Amino acid sequence: MRALVIAVVVLIIATSAARADDLPPSRLSLLGALRHGTGEVSSSIGYGESIGLEASWQPMAVGQRLGWGVAWSLLWTWYGDQPAARITGSLDTLELDVALRVRFAPTPSPGRVLTVGIGGMLLRSNERLPPDDERAYLGPFGEIGYEHLAWGAVTATIHVRLGPVGTGPTIASALLGIGVAL
């Protein structure tokens, strides 16, 4: 009987695979950004500062080197007194976007991830913006970034984004996020 119990215990231990815990699959962050119009709208839009929120779903296991993610963000941007603000004296925008990201862990250590993403944004302004003199734009954007998980739940992110591409005023953005992994 003792031999049977030992055999069963050895069998259970041998067949159960050791597996590390998964990384937190979601994140909620506070965003800050510096932004600037590019190309022909560079002088009309100028520099702006943003604040916003980002939520993301990015399942990835410890040891996994390639993954995916989806992120939603909302940004409020103030450009101040710019030539494009002909009526109100201050150019302000609101942006809602969604991004699909490919995530790559450059090392087996958990929590450090490089990202490449594409997405779509809805940009709304309080003034008509060049080059089309519209107040609302819908278009694609591209981004690259770095995400870092520290102390088990604190996240820091930086993404560089260009968009909307080809539909209205193209804006370059550097977004910094501090958040919590959930």
CATH code assigned at 151: 2.40.160.20
**Alpha-carbon torsion, ordered 39, 146, 57, 95, to 10 deg:** -20
The domain of 111 spans 25-181
Categorize the per-residue pLDDT at 10 as very low, low, confident or very high, splitting at 50, 70 and 90.
low
Distances (CA, A) of 138 to 17, 37, 38, 124, 132: 48, 16, 17, 9, 13
Q: What digits encode the pLDDT tens for the residues 105-161?
A: 998 888 899 999 999 999 999 888 878 889 999 999 999 999 999 888 999 999 999
Prior bond of 131 cis (ω within 30°): yes
Categorize the per-residue pLDDT at 34 as very low, low, confident or very high, splitting at 50, 70 and 90.
very high
- Residue 20: inside a domain: no
Higher local confidence (pLDDT), 7 or 36: 36
- Residue 172: inside a domain: yes
Q: Cβ distance 82 to 63 under 8 Å?
A: no
- Residue 73: inside a domain: yes
- Residue 133: inside a domain: yes
Q: What digits encode the pLDDT tens for the residues 42-94?
A: 888 889 999 999 999 999 988 899 999 999 999 999 988 776 666 767 888 99
- Residue 3: inside a domain: no
Find how far residue 149's CA is from the centre of its chain. 14
* Tally of structural domains, the chain: 1
- Residue 55: inside a domain: yes
- Residue 45: inside a domain: yes
Higher local confidence (pLDDT), 44 or 175: 175
pLDDT of amino acid 132: 85
- Residue 14: inside a domain: no
**What distance in Å separates the CA atoms of residue 110 and residue 107, rounded to the nearest whole number?**
8
